[in-house]
Amino acid sequence: MAVPARKTSKTRKRLRRTHYKLQAASLSACPNCGELRRPHRVCPSCGYYDGKEVVKVK
Ligand SMILES: [Zn+2]
């Protein structure tokens, strides 16, 4: 339920926000080259996705 902003003290607000933090990006090994890459993305080191080379890597 909504609470008027002035009823939430600075301490309450700051205590609540101590739980807001960034998470490290998840990584998994590429099945083609074994390099770590983010899931559901083209591998940045070999350019493979779903077993095919979709991007040429120089
Ligand atoms: Zn790869």
With respect to residue 5, please indicate whether it lies within any of the assigned structural domains: no
Q: Give the chain's domain count.
A: 1
Decide: 36 and 24 in contact? Cβ < 8 Å.
no
Ligand 1 geometric centre to CA of 29 (Å): 8
With respect to residue 55, please indicate whether it lies within any of the assigned structural domains: yes
Which residues have C-beta within 8 Å of that of residue 23, sequence separation ≥ 6? none
Ligand 1 geometric centre to CA of 25 (Å): 17
With respect to residue 7, please indicate whether it lies within any of the assigned structural domains: no
Mean predicted confidence (pLDDT) in 4-30: 94
With respect to residue 37, please indicate whether it lies within any of the assigned structural domains: yes
Mean pLDDT of the chain: 92
Q: Which of 54, 17, 3 is nearest to 44 (CA)?
A: 54
Query: pLDDT of 18-31, one tens digit each?
Result: 999 999 999 999 99
With respect to residue 11, please indicate whether it lies within any of the assigned structural domains: no
* Domain of 50, in residue numbers: 25-58
With respect to residue 13, please indicate whether it lies within any of the assigned structural domains: no
- Tokens representing 26 are 């998840």
With respect to residue 52, please indicate whether it lies within any of the assigned structural domains: yes
Ligand 1 geometric centre to CA of 27 (Å): 12
Both ends of the chain: CA-CA distance in Å? 55
Q: What is the pTM of this model?
A: 0.57
Residue 3: pLDDT band (50, 70, 90) is confident
Residue 2: pLDDT band (50, 70, 90) is confident
